[in-house]
A and B are shown apart, each in its own frame.
Chain A
Amino acid sequence: MRLTALDRLALAAGLTRLQGLAEAKAIRPGLDVHPADAAADARFLAAIADWCDRYTPLVSIDGEDGLFLDITGCAHLFGGEQALLDDLLRRLTGFGLEAHGAISSFPGLSWAMARHGAAGIAGEEEAERIVAALPLSALRLEPELVARLEKLGLGRVGDLIGMPRAPLARRFGPALLLRLDQALGIEEEPVSPRRPVAALSVERRLAEPVTGEEDLRMLSMRLAEALKPQLEARGLGGRLFELLLFRVDGHVFRLQAGASSPLREPKRIASLFSERFQAVHDDLDAGFGFEMLRLNVAQADAYDAAQQDFGGERDRSESLAAFIDQAVARFGRDCLLIAAARESHRPERAGALSPVFETGISVAPSVSPLPFRMERPFRLFAHPEKVEATAGVPEGPPVNFRWRRTLHRVLRAEGPERLAAEWWLHKDGETAPPRDYYRIEDEGGRRYWLFREGLYGSGAEPRWFMHGVFA
């Protein structure tokens, strides 16, 4: 067991990274040791990255312990770059974290500065001067490569800058020059954000943290109202909204709510989130309150503005859409189902239910009915249930059957109607046994749809299943 990370006190006591635990304990008997948990560290870093959303939407994670923030065009919102950096570091220190930060024009340069004690702000022209003074490890190189370079007496980045490039590349590979160029800003380096950037977003910072659900509802309404002119200006309506709640202690909650049609009405957007608040009620721990809210439009579509008519039919379809959005926001997407007719003779496929949120409420074009088919049950079991049936003759309808431990005596039966598998859809469709369907009435007047799967004399014994219920 080895030490993986040390705090300031431990370093002062003379302990080093990768030191054996037994050795370290021998040096400092009172050493406080915690087992390393890489996954928890990663989660923690992701939570900080979420929190950093308050400064810019472009946040990316760098290794195990770093974050890149692309603050292009954001600094003025915080009173300049220095003020932003101070605010960020002060807040992180407030969380009990030790953080270093640097602002420069290039990610590579910022990385080198933040990790090697040259914290602050650097302009483009200062890049070479600052980097030259830093050790080679500031270049994000492999440790072996750094060791090889140091063996040759190259201790500082400045030693590399003046050297001829071709021999360097030949001897140490292209990575060395790439990293050097990135630090100097000669090579472009994109920062890829963790999350897709929202098409639109509005936020509200609060002087006093709020905790109550009522306040949150009211604030989401205000945000939605602020969003409306922006959506109107672009001719868009939101399909997917995201509400970010920044808690005082740095935790960030993300709530998503979808709409079945492009939406820009503040009242409806707010009502979606009030359903979400209801649904996540217990998980939404307000703690000491939320200090900032942001409403993102994660997905937007063209909004077709339509004129109101006096008939009220449009009103009705709108209230239907509003109801669907509300129910979906509360119970999830597969709560509301709609029956869509398909061209198939297979009962499972012919009238399958699909989530209305995906298919929409427009009625599917009517499917031409099969030239002849027997009546279908109006309730179909999702999975046919096995029954024990006794037939008078092998190929005939059942005389009685046992379904769910109850014996039903068959008085009348109609059938069979033979339905084969759809060989053009399934790999085993050609060999799948055909089904013989019977309409059956038992002595109580209940009508069922039973089928026998398989043929006599073709190996496996045919089996009986219950597939549906008639009126």
Chain B
Amino acid sequence: MAGDAVARERLAALRQTIARIEGRAPEHFQEKQAPVAHPDTAGAQAGSGFRGGDGARLLPLGVAALDEALQGGLPLDAMVELRGEEMRDAGAVSGFALSLCARLTQEAGEAGRRFFFWIGERMVALDTGLPHLPGLADHGFSHARLLYAAPKKIEEALWLAEQALASRAFAAVLMEVRGNPARFGLTESRRLSLKAREAGLPLFVLRQAGAEEAGSAVFRLRVRPAPASQRRLGSGSPLSGSLGFPVFHLAVEKSRLPVHAEFFLEWNPHDRRFRTVSPVPVSRRAPENPVAAFSASADRPDRAREMGHVLAFNGAFNRAS
């Protein structure tokens, strides 16, 4: 019995070592071993919010099912990749990343005063635009501060990301790349991921119009746009045809758990909170509060003209003369 205990001890120690090397929370094994404890730990994680087990800092997204798939939330000292499949999905990808930053600002009182650093390759900025301050405020990013870099080449972007992480002056670093550049391969991604762990800062890699690629990110989330939810009237019923809060179609592509989960998340920029919504397209629903496509005339309806009073005399005269 004693030998058994020693062996178990050693096994646990080895598992912890492996977990440390892989950079994940070691409690996870215990969860699996003792499923009874699962709700407790999940509850504790959700309750403690900002801090996960073993001192690992986590950013919970506030959606129970998603946080469970992410084992408590997105790690705040690692590289997380957000991938968009097409260039025109860039709005959704960067919007989701900014929502994460906004949540980070809200969760962390002290870090909220720090700058966010957004590195956007010049070519991506040409394709999808530059950050716009009033729009950022509308997206829930109002009190945060943003420093934007427009490097010409991917090497410069990598250097900037690395130095920014090393300086530890930022709350988070966002790096936007286009496609799957050869210069940003497994080695570079591993290097950045180690830097992020060393600095204890989150690094979000926004891969616009990129394919799935083996990388060193702890999580890879695929972000697709989804129809926005409708604006709510005072009574709580939706206003037909209106564009309310943005919705993201999120899929966990790479994670420590072998799950493939998809979520439709609505982002509320006022409360800075995510909420799951049903993915039913708006157009299929019956309109609840229909609005006329064209507004009524401000003055009065144009009166019906009497028929047959006006003839095309001018044309006839011109031809005759």
Which residues on A are within 8 Å of B, measured CB to CB?
313, 316-317, 319-320, 322-324, 326-327, 330-331, 334-341, 347, 350-351, 353, 356, 361, 363, 369, 373, 375-382, 392-393, 396, 404, 406, 411-414, 439, 441, 444-448, 468-471
B134 contacts across to A, CB distance below 8 A? 341, 347, 350-351, 369, 373, 376
- Pick 7 A–B contacts, CB within 8 A, sort by A: A320-B170, A339-B148, A356-B147, A380-B131, A404-B88, A441-B243, A445-B226
- The reply to whether A445 and B225 form a contact with Cβ atoms under 8 Å apart is yes
A460 to B67, CA, bound (A): 55
**Of B126, B148, B160, B249, which one neighbours A338 at CB under 8 angstroms?**
B148
Further contacts, 17 of them, CB under 8 A, given A335-B149, A412-B241: A331-B160, A335-B156, A341-B134, A351-B135, A353-B130, A377-B129, A378-B139, A379-B90, A381-B129, A406-B88, A439-B243, A445-B225, A469-B90, A470-B95, A471-B91, A471-B96, A471-B139
B112 at the interface (CB under 8 A from A): no
Bound Cα distance from A471 to B92, whole angstroms: 5
Q: Which of A322, A369, A380 has the most CB of B within 10 A?
A: A380
CA distance A316 to B99 in the complex (A): 24
- The distance from the CB of B110 to the nearest CB of chain A, in whole angstroms, is 8
The reply to whether the CB of B179 lies closer than 8 angstroms to some CB of chain A is no
Interface residue from B88, B141, B145, B282 paired with A412 (Cβ < 8 Å): B282
- How far is A278 from B130 in the complex, measured between Cα atoms in Å? 28
In this complex, the interface size class of chain B, counting residues with CB under 8 Å from chain A, is: 35 or more
- Identify the closest chain B residue to A377 (Cβ): B135
Which residues does chain B contribute within 8 Å of A470, judged by CB atoms?
Answer: 91, 95, 135, 246
From the candidates A313, A363, A379, A413, name the one contacting B129 in the complex (CB within 8 A): A379
Contact A319 B167 (CB under 8 A): yes
B133 near A350 with CB under 8 A, answer yes
B91–A382 touching, CB < 8 Å: no
CB of B129 within 8 A of CB of A468, answer yes
B89 located at the interface, meaning its Cβ lies under 8 Å from any Cβ of chain A in the complex: yes
Indicate which residue in A322, A341, A393, A469 contacts B128 across the interface (CB closer than 8 Å): A469
Q: How far is the CB of A206 from chain B (nearest CB, A)?
A: 31
Q: How far in angstroms is the closest Cβ of chain A from B291?
A: 10
B194 within 8 A of A: no
Chain A residues near B267 (CB-CB < 8 A): 471
Residue of A whose beta carbon sits closest to that of B113: A313
- Which among A316, A339, A406, A414 is the interface contact of B146 at CB below 8 angstroms? A339
> Is B163 touching A326 in the complex (CB atoms < 8 A)?
yes
- Contact string against A for B residues 71-104, beta-carbon threshold 8 Å, 1 for contact and 0 otherwise: 0000000000000000011111011101100000
CB distance from B263 to the nearest CB of A (A): 14
Report chain A residues within 8 Å CB of B88. 404, 406, 444, 446
Going nearest first, the 5 A-B pairs with the smallest beta carbon separation are A471-B95, A351-B133, A378-B135, A379-B129, A469-B91
Complex interface residues of chain B between 206 and 229 (CB less than 8 A to chain A): 224-228
Residue B205 at the chain A interface, CB threshold 8 Å = no
Q: Which of B125, B137, B149 contacts A327 (CB 8 A)?
A: B149
A441-B243, A445-B228 known; A331+B131 contact, CB < 8 A: no
What residues of chain B have their CB less than 8 Å away from a CB belonging to chain A? 88-92, 94-96, 98-99, 113-115, 125-126, 128-139, 141, 145-151, 156, 159-160, 163-164, 167-170, 224-228, 241-243, 246-249, 267, 282-283, 293-294
Contact between A380 and B148, CB atoms less than 8 A apart: no
Q: Is the CB of B91 within 8 A of A338?
A: no
Does A323 contact B169, Cβ atoms closer than 8 Å? yes
Inter-chain contact A337/B135, CB cutoff 8 Å = no
> Do the beta carbons of B150 and A337 come within 8 Å of each other?
yes
**Pair A316/B169 contact, Cβ less than 8 Å:** yes
Q: Give the complex CA separation of A271 and B114 in angstroms.
A: 24
Task: Determine the distance from Cα of A382 to Cα of B122 in the docked complex, in whole angstroms.
Answer: 12
A353-B131 contact in complex given A412-B241, A447-B246, C-beta closer than 8 Å: yes
B160 touches A327 (CB 8 A): yes
> Which A residues are in CB contact (< 8 Å) with B149?
327, 335-337
Give A325 to B246 CA distance when docked, in angstroms: 37
Whether the Cβ atoms of B168 and A319 lie closer than 8 Å is yes
- Determine if A471 and B99 form an interchain contact, defined as CB atoms under 8 angstroms apart: yes
B282 touches A323 (CB 8 A): no
Q: CA separation between A404 and B130, bound complex, in Å? A: 18
A354 to B90, CA, bound (A): 23
Q: Which of B89, B147, B148 has the most CB of A within 10 A?
A: B147
What residues of A have a CB within 8 angstroms of the CB of B282 in the complex?
411-412
The answer for the CA separation of A313 and B111 in the assembled complex, in Å, is 10
- Chain A residues contacting B150 (CB-CB under 8 Å) are 334-335, 337
Q: Find B168's partner among A316, A326, A340, A361 (CB 8 Å cutoff).
A: A316
B169, A320: Cβ atoms under 8 Å? yes
Q: Which residue of B lies closest to A338 (CB)?
A: B147
- How far, in angstroms, from A327 to B167 measured CA to CA in the complex? 12
Across the interface, which residues of A come within 8 angstroms of B136, CB to CB? 339, 351, 378
Residues of A within 8 A of B247 (CB): 445
Indicate if the CB atoms of A446 and B131 lie closer than 8 Å.
no
In the assembly, what is the distance between CA of A471 and CA of B244, in Å?
Answer: 11
Chain A residues near B145: list those with CB within 8 A.
Answer: 363
B305 smallest CB distance to A (angstroms): 19
Complexed CA–CA distance, A245 and B200 (Å): 40
A446 touches B167 (CB 8 A): no
Q: How far is the CB of B315 from chain A (nearest CB, A)?
A: 22
Q: Which of B94, B98, B149 has the most CB of A within 10 A?
A: B149
- A320-B133 in contact (CB<8A): no
Given the complex, which residues of A lie within 8 Å of B293, measured CB to CB? 392, 396
Shortest Cβ gap from B175 to chain A (Å): 14
Q: How far is the CB of A339 from chain B (nearest CB, A)?
A: 4
Do B283 and A375 have beta carbons less than 8 Å apart?
no
Nearest-neighbor residue (CB-CB) of B159 within chain A: A330
Contact between A446 and B91, CB atoms less than 8 A apart? yes
Given A378-B132, A380-B132: A323 touches B225 (CB 8 Å cut-off)? no
- A377 near B99 (CB under 8 angstroms)? no
Q: Which residues does chain B contribute within 8 Å of A351, judged by CB atoms? A: 131-136
Are A380 and B167 interface neighbours, CB within 8 A? no
Contact B138 A320 (CB under 8 A): no
Chain B residues with CB under 8 A of A381: 129-130
Least Cβ–Cβ distance between B89 and chain A, in angstroms: 7
**A441 with B138, Cβ < 8 A, contacts A337-B148, A470-B246 known:** no
CA distance A424 to B114 in the complex (A): 36
Report chain A residues within 8 Å CB of B91: 377, 379, 446-448, 469-471
Q: Which A residues lie within 8 Å of B131 (CB)?
A: 339, 351, 353, 378-380
